[in-house]
Amino acid sequence: MTLRTHDRYDYHAITDRPDFCWPEGKRLAVYVALNLEHFAFGEGLGAELIPGGPAPDVPNFAWRDYGNRVGAWRLREVFDALGLPATILLNSSILDHCPSLAAAFLARGDEIIGHGRTNSERQSVLPEAEEGALIAEATSRIAAWSGRVPHGWLGPWLAQSPVTPDLLKEAGYEYLLDWCHDDQPVWMRTRSGPILSVPYPQEINDIPAIAVRRAGAAEFAAMIIDQFDEMLGQSAAQPLVMGIALHAYIVGQPFRLRHLRRALAHIAAQRKDVWITTPGVIAKHYAALLPYENRPTG
């Protein structure tokens, strides 16, 4: 029996790969990703605080909009206080809905990653031409606003069609975050050449942890701390990447923010031992050390 395969990368155990270090000989790279998302009113997809009722479903829409109006600004204060860079996963519709919010993070020098047009839609259900148009629209909108073409992409809801990596490569993207399958970057094949997959968390991510599995604020903070401490120990054997995925309408709520601040402070206090950075810088460093031609193979 032969199972269907994606044929994007080969299996190669993390215990049997070329060794390397991050800058300054560090072994664990850490980044904090903040999703800035905007949702259609009364239609489309969206995380739910309470079971959705008939349109226009004001409670859930308003809960999500709290993140842009309040929560993200509080998170920015936490990042500033702890001296942490942020990675901004940006729906391009944010630039129409609340451009001052996006500008506030751009002014910090944070990396801006393409995150589709809105999280009210999934690109994976679109025909190839329409998906390509979605990627082009979001990319050009972000580039025109920021003056910087985004090099990284995370699809809304981590959704990919069978050709998404191909379309991203052809649109000029250097790396993607949707494939949450490893703790190191992994080269992927596309029909137009290689693209790098940078680790992104499904577990240390407030939507699966809090909105789906209903973890408490203190529990989610403990998950972050335990993940960091364990990966720091594991990184003595292999260099690793730890991501933290946040959504302002969830962890920007005051009672959760207090616990998140404690977890991030735990990481910031050990910055001399780890590389606190962004996915784009991770991708560039890895690609320079282990280019596609020298990738580990199965």
Residue 126 has pLDDT above 90, yes or no: yes
CB 78 within 8 A of CB 252: no
Determine the structural domain holding residue 173 and report its residue range.
29-39+52-294
User: Is residue 89 one of the residues assigned to a domain?
Assistant: yes
pLDDT for the residue 34: 98
Task: pLDDT band for 298, please (50, 70, 90 cuts).
Answer: low
pLDDT of amino acid 55: 78
Contacts of 59 (CB under 8 A, 6+ apart): 49, 50, 53
Between CA 179 and CA 262 the distance in angstroms is: 29
Residue 122: CATH number of its domain: 3.20.20.370
Q: Is residue 11 domain-resident?
A: no
pLDDT for residue 83? 98
Within a domain: residue 46? no
Residue 66: HSE in the Cβ half-sphere, 13 Å Cα cutoff = 14
65-90 in b/e form (b: 16+ CB < 10 A) is: bbbbeebbebbbebbeebebebbbbb
Any domain includes 59: yes
Would residue 145 count as lying in a domain? Answer: yes
Number of domains in the chain: 1
Residue 94 lies in a domain: yes
Q: Per residue, what are the HEC states of 57-107?
A: CHHHHHHHHHHHHHHHHHHHHHHHHHCCCCEEEECCCHHHHCHHHHHHHHH
Question: What are the tens digits of pLDDT across the range 33-42?
Answer: 999 999 999 8
Confidence category of residue 18, pLDDT binned at 50, 70, 90:
very high
3-state class percentages of the chain: helix first, strand second, coil last, to nearest 5: 45, 15, 45
Instruction: Flag whether 65 is in a domain.
Output: yes
| % of residues, the chain, pLDDT over 70 | 99
State how far the Cα of 8 lies from the Cα of 279, in Å rounded to an integer.
20
Q: Which residue has the higher pLDDT, 118 or 47?
A: 118
Q: Is the pLDDT confidence value at 176 over 60?
A: yes
- Average pLDDT value over all residues in the chain: 96
Contact 139, 176 (CB under 8 A): no
Query: Residue 4: inside a domain, yes or no?
Result: no
